Amino acid sequence: MAAEGSSSVIQPLLRQEFSFTGPTFEARGRVTDEGFLILKGSTAAPDFKVGSSGYQRMREKLVEDGVLLPDSGRLVFTRDISANSSSQAASIVAGGNRSGPFSWKSNGKTLGDLESDAVSASSLEQ
């Protein structure tokens, strides 16, 4: 996350819900102090296409544990899931490597744009 290290910078982001949609998925999430939270009821792409084998193993484990269940050509999150970063969350949802700051959006603005805005506002206050 671009705003690492400064909790005052991310405070405004903690109150917002973000979405990430694609042809086979529709997910909602929130920034947390620890990274990013994918919200229960979100959907993920049914297959892992291209990307980190670590992300692929994470998805497989979520399916094995019943956290991601197949439903109508998608995978559905049965509970909230914490990810280390917005990019890890986006990659789990999309089934391949994704940039979290570019993928997650709130009110038409990307997480990356909102992080930049928060950092700029913080530097103006100092």
**95 lies in a domain?**
yes
**1 lies in a domain?**
no
Please state the domain count of the chain. Answer: 1
Q: Going by DSSP bridges, is the β-strand pair 43-44/36-38 parallel, antiparallel, or unpaired?
A: unpaired
**112 lies in a domain?**
yes
pLDDT of 30: 97
Question: Which residues, at least 6 apart from 36, have a Cβ–Cβ distance to it below 8 Å?
Answer: 1, 29, 30, 82, 83, 84, 85, 86, 88, 89, 100, 104
Percentage of the chain with pLDDT > 90?
Answer: 69
Q: Going by DSSP bridges, is the β-strand pair 25-31/36-38 parallel, antiparallel, or unpaired?
A: antiparallel
Q: From the centroid of its chain, how far is CA 64?
A: 21
Interval 115-121 mean pLDDT = 81
For residue 86, give its domain range. Answer: 7-125
pLDDT digits (tens, 9 = 90+) for 4-62: 444 555 677 888 999 999 999 999 999 999 999 999 999 999 999 877 788 899 999 99
User: Whole-structure pTM over 0.85, yes or no?
Assistant: yes
- At residue 113 the predicted structure's pLDDT band, cuts being 50, 70 and 90, is very high
